[in-house]
Amino acid sequence: MTNMIAWEKDADGIVTLTMDDPGRGANTMNETFQRSFTETVERLVAEKDEIAGVVLTSAKKTFFAGADLNLISKATVADAPELTAQSMAFKSATRALETLGKPVVAAINGAALGGGLEIALACHRRIALDVKGSEIGLPEVSLGLLPGGGGVVRTVRMFGLQKALMEVLLQGQRRKPAAALEVGLVDELVADPAELIPAAKAWIKANPEAVQPWDVKGYKIPGGTPSNPKFAAMLPAFPANLRKQLKGAPMPAPEAIMAAAVEGSQVDVDNALRIETQYFVSLATGRRGS
Amino acid sequence: MTSEAYIYEAIRTPRGRGKANGSLHGVKPVTLVTGLIDELRARHPQMDTNAIDDLVLGCVTPVGDQGADIAKTAAIFAGLPDTVAGTQINRFCASALEAVNIAAQKVRAGWDQLVIAGGVECMSRIPMGSDGGAWAMDPETAYDTYFVPQGISADLIATTEGFTREDVDAYAVQSQQRSAAAWSAGHFAKSVVPVKDRNGVILLDHDEHMRPDTTLESLGKLKPSFAGIGEMGGFDAVALQKFHWVEKIDHVHTPGNSSGIVDGAALVVVGSEQIGKDFGMVPRARIVATAVSGADPTIMLTGPTPATEKALRLAGLTVDDIDVWELNEAFAAVVLKWVKDFDLPMEKVNINGGAIAMGHPLGATGAMILGTVVDELERSGGRYGLVTLCIGGGMGLATIIERV
Ligand SMILES: CC(C)(COP(=O)(O)OP(=O)(O)OC[C@H]1O[C@@H](n2cnc3c(N)ncnc32)[C@H](O)[C@@H]1OP(=O)(O)O)[C@@H](O)C(=O)NCCC(=O)NCCS
């Protein structure tokens, strides 16, 4: 089986990875992608001494379209072990990518929603093309799901619990690139497609030692966690206000997102990713009804 | 050998205002307890402390200075024999009465002979809720179980029972008047042990949260304390989704008709009949029955009713047999509902005032009001008294005692 992620190394040692699902008009989180992604990350790890950095981009009009809903909507409780294993395999690949020791840049050439943004969040920098029709966000909640590819864990660590929940996760806002820049989901915009890859490479050359903030010793989640008295004083109002907003509607996803975010904030990244997967699987398999 | 469980002594500290300007704010929780242990030794020099099996203390926020088993810590620091054990327990607001009940159960089981029970809480130092906990702090738990803070529950009780602001304020005025009258008549003279500094200088010898000049008019000016969190915190909506037949919550509780935030400690000596004989101590009351019950966790503070029913049933007594009724004044509506449920005459309920006036040091209150009932039975010549408290999480605890 072929790898749908093209590998191209330039003279400076920067590898450009181009996602291009041969069977579809858009890249999705299907089996082909998951296998290709894992293989590609394994190769990056194996060859990292000869690599200066990585650019991740897409050959499609969009960057990445997110989960393959056909697969997820069919899941039942019996699929839990399989879904859990798949989710964790993807996450260990993203962890290997962000802890590679080399700068990794997502060159977001078009819409990055759901799983697409989650892959980009596992990169050290996100540069988006400011193109019409492009949208960036984690809209899983509107499908009754949660961002189960690290989106909860990483946005909480980027923005703090309150902002991640209110501005990204609980309502699943889709943002134009400029708005995504403003909220902090992307770091930089370029106007012209021809500038995208050069901008990514320029950042790599300027930041040869890139590391995620949460992998730096002494890192603290902005705004505090339940162990912080100030944050703890506000926390009980979170689920109460959620209940108030939902007016008793049987919608399990927002609660699961909030729970995964808060619980995950109290442990290390790897355990947080596990907790996120458990809540994701409970929603995907319908175990977590209302 | 099993035995009846007797109360030999019941003492308490005065209650200090639970703020930085409170007279006990500068006193360590462990010191409040050791001060009372010293008093027990002084009052009962013939009591061989080697006979004490255990020190059981309630404490609701057992962190910081109150953490790591303050009971054993106090036993060591007070210089009790090494063989005296100690355990801290948490039944929230009823912790100290639970400590007494556990002591009674130990003695009645025959495993222990002499147990010191009570509790301590320095609310000015360790704020209520600062120990976290999954019910309030874990979103999944809170969401699925309709968690709301106690003040919302108290307002919900007032709403479902139809108690108006005037009703609860009138009860609060009564609490202030009765507390003041009890103090000036010397009803607390036997139980209250002044808190002194390390040089013997008195720091506090009275309950300083009281406002005897409180009137319906002065109370009427106070703003509801829980309307804000009810609205902004989303808790009204949570309560109303569970109690969906209620249209809106009437926020009637204020700082004037809720229990006061205070610092204090209390100890009760519980022992077998033989202990009294061995050390020449005269029992003051017999513990007739202990009862605990759960209740709906969202309205939360209705537990005294099932606990009272259970205690009466266990004791084989009826409402008419009880001469002195004591329910912790966590919030005025809690008392009014319980009085209504049993159709109690107000002349027999909380006759020496209560926590609205004098304050509710969470982990210590149960032992304080038990002592109040022991004293009142002796003074009035009544036979049976019933003590009960509402409890966080939806529980109630009750104890029936008989003067001997
Ligand atoms: C209700 C509650 C939140 C009020 O706390 P608080 O706002 O810190 O109360 P304060 O003592 O500062 O009183 C607030 C105001 O009311 C006034 N006040 C209080 N009692 C009064 C009275 N009897 N008459 C007139 N005014 C009174 C105070 O003077 C103060 O006024 P100020 O702000 O102008 O100084 C708090 O007492 C509480 O939570 N009680 C319940 C405790 C509890 O839940 N225990 C567990 C039970 S289950």
Q: According to the model, what pLDDT value does residue A71 have?
A: 65
Q: Say yes or no for a CB contact (<8 Å) between A244 and B238.
A: yes
B250-259 pLDDT tens trace: 999 999 999 9
Select the residue of A229, A241, A263 nearest B130 (Cβ to Cβ).
A229
Among B100, B50, B53, B227, smallest CA distance to B155 is for: B227
Mean of pLDDT values over A141-146: 94
The beta-strand segments (E) located in B234-336 are 262-271, 285-294, 322-327
Nearest chain B residue to A255 by CA distance is B140
Q: According to the model, what pLDDT value does residue B251 have?
A: 98
B180-191 pLDDT tens trace: 999 999 999 999
Buried-state track B297-335, b at ≥16 Cβ within 10 A, e below 16? bbbbbbbbbbbbbbbbeebebeeeebbbbbbbbbbbbbb
Percent of all residues in chain B with a pLDDT value above 90, rounded to a whole number: 99
B339-385 pLDDT tens trace: 999 999 999 999 999 999 999 999 999 999 999 999 999 999 999 99
- B156 CA to middle of ligand 1, Å? 19
What token pair was written down for A159?
């923005």
Distance in Å, alpha carbon of A262 to nearest chain B alpha carbon: 7
Mutate to test the interface with B, among A244, A257, A265 (most CBs of B within 10 A): A244
Q: How confident is the model at residue B3 (pLDDT cuts 50, 70, 90)?
A: confident
Select the residue of A232, A243, A258 nearest B137 (Cβ to Cβ).
A232
Q: How confident is the model at residue B45 (pLDDT cuts 50, 70, 90)?
A: very high
Q: How confident is the model at residue A70 (pLDDT cuts 50, 70, 90)?
A: low
Q: How far apart are CA A133 and CA A143, in angstroms?
A: 21
Q: Say yes or no for a CB contact (<8 Å) between A236 and B149.
A: yes
Instruction: Give the B-side interface with A, CB within 8 Å.
Output: 130, 132, 136-140, 142-144, 146-149, 229, 232-238, 241
- pTM: predicted TM-score of the whole model, two decimal places: 0.95
3-state secondary structure B58-102: ECCCCCHHHCCCHHHHHHHHCCCCCCCEEEEECECECHHHHHHHH
Residue B68: how many other CB atoms lie within 10 Å: 11
- Which ligand 1 atom sits nearest the alpha carbon of residue B301? 48
Q: How far apart are CA B112 and CA B261, in angstroms?
A: 34
Q: How far apart are CA B387 and CA B371, in angstroms?
A: 10
Give the residue carrying structure tokens 């050290």: A124
Distance in Å, alpha carbon of B271 to nearest chain A alpha carbon: 42
Mean of pLDDT values over A194-216: 97
Distance in Å, alpha carbon of A67 to nearest chain B alpha carbon: 25
Give the residue carrying structure tokens 């469980």: B5
- DSSP annotation of B223 reads P
Asked whether residue B2 carries a pLDDT value surpassing 80, the answer given is no
The strand order across the sheet containing A125-129 reads: A5-9, A14-19, A53-58, A104-108, A125-129, A188-190
Taking only residues 248 to 287 of chain A, the set having a beta carbon closer than 8 angstroms to any beta carbon of chain B reads: 248, 255, 258-259, 262-263
Radius of gyration, alpha carbons of chain A: 18
Q: How confident is the model at residue A73 (pLDDT cuts 50, 70, 90)?
A: confident
- B209 CA to middle of ligand 1, Å? 10
Pairing of strands B6-12, B285-294: antiparallel
- B256 CA to middle of ligand 1, Å? 6
Average pLDDT score, chain A = 95
Asked whether residue B117 carries a pLDDT value surpassing 80, the answer given is yes
Q: How far apart are CA A272 and CA A281, in angstroms?
A: 14
Q: How far apart are CA A248 and CA A162, in angstroms?
A: 22
Asked whether residue A246 carries a pLDDT value surpassing 90, the answer given is yes
Asked whether residue A65 carries a pLDDT value surpassing 90, the answer given is no
Q: Say yes or no for a CB contact (<8 Å) between A236 and B132.
A: no
Q: Say yes or no for a CB contact (<8 Å) between A236 and B241.
A: no
Asked whether residue B82 carries a pLDDT value surpassing 90, the answer given is yes
A16-51 pLDDT tens trace: 999 999 988 999 989 999 999 999 999 999 999 999
3-class secondary-structure state, position B145: helix
Average pLDDT score, chain B = 98
* Residues comprising chain A, all counted: 290
B197-248 pLDDT tens trace: 999 999 999 999 999 999 999 999 999 999 999 999 999 999 999 999 999 9
Radius of gyration, alpha carbons of chain B: 20
- Which ligand 1 atom sits nearest the alpha carbon of residue B209? 11
- A234 CA to middle of ligand 1, Å? 21
Q: Say yes or no for a CB contact (<8 Å) between B139 and A258.
A: yes
Distance in Å, alpha carbon of B171 to nearest chain A alpha carbon: 31
Among B38, B110, B100, smallest CA distance to B269 is for: B100
Asked whether residue A290 carries a pLDDT value surpassing 50, the answer given is no
3-class secondary-structure state, position B261: coil
What token pair was written down for B315?
């004791």
For the question of residue B360 being annotated catalytic, the response is: yes
Pairing of strands B202-204, B195-196: antiparallel
Q: Say whether residue A240 is in contact with chain B using an 8 A CB cutoff.
A: yes
Q: How far apart are CA A67 and CA A59, in angstroms?
A: 18
Q: Say yes or no for a CB contact (<8 Å) between B233 and A255.
A: no
User: Chain A residues with CB inside 8 Å of B235's CB?
Assistant: 237, 240
Select the residue of A245, A248, A255 nearest B140 (Cβ to Cβ).
A255
Distance in Å, alpha carbon of B135 to nearest chain A alpha carbon: 9
Q: According to the model, what pLDDT value does residue B4 have?
A: 97
Q: How confident is the model at residue B1 (pLDDT cuts 50, 70, 90)?
A: low
Q: Say yes or no for a CB contact (<8 Å) between B241 and A262.
A: no
Q: Say yes or no for a CB contact (<8 Å) between B138 and A240.
A: no
Give the residues surrounding ligand 1 with Cβ less than 6 Å away: B 93, 150, 211, 214, 218-219, 222, 225, 255-256, 258-261, 330, 360, 390, 392
- B120 CA to middle of ligand 1, Å? 21
Q: How far apart are CA A172 and CA A147, in angstroms?
A: 10
Percent of all residues in chain A with a pLDDT value above 70, rounded to a whole number: 97
Give me the catalytic one of B187, B209, B251, B360.
B360
User: Chain B residues with CB inside 8 Å of A247's CB?
Assistant: 237, 241
Give me the catalytic one of B59, B93, B122, B253.
B93
Q: According to the model, what pLDDT value does residue A186 have?
A: 98
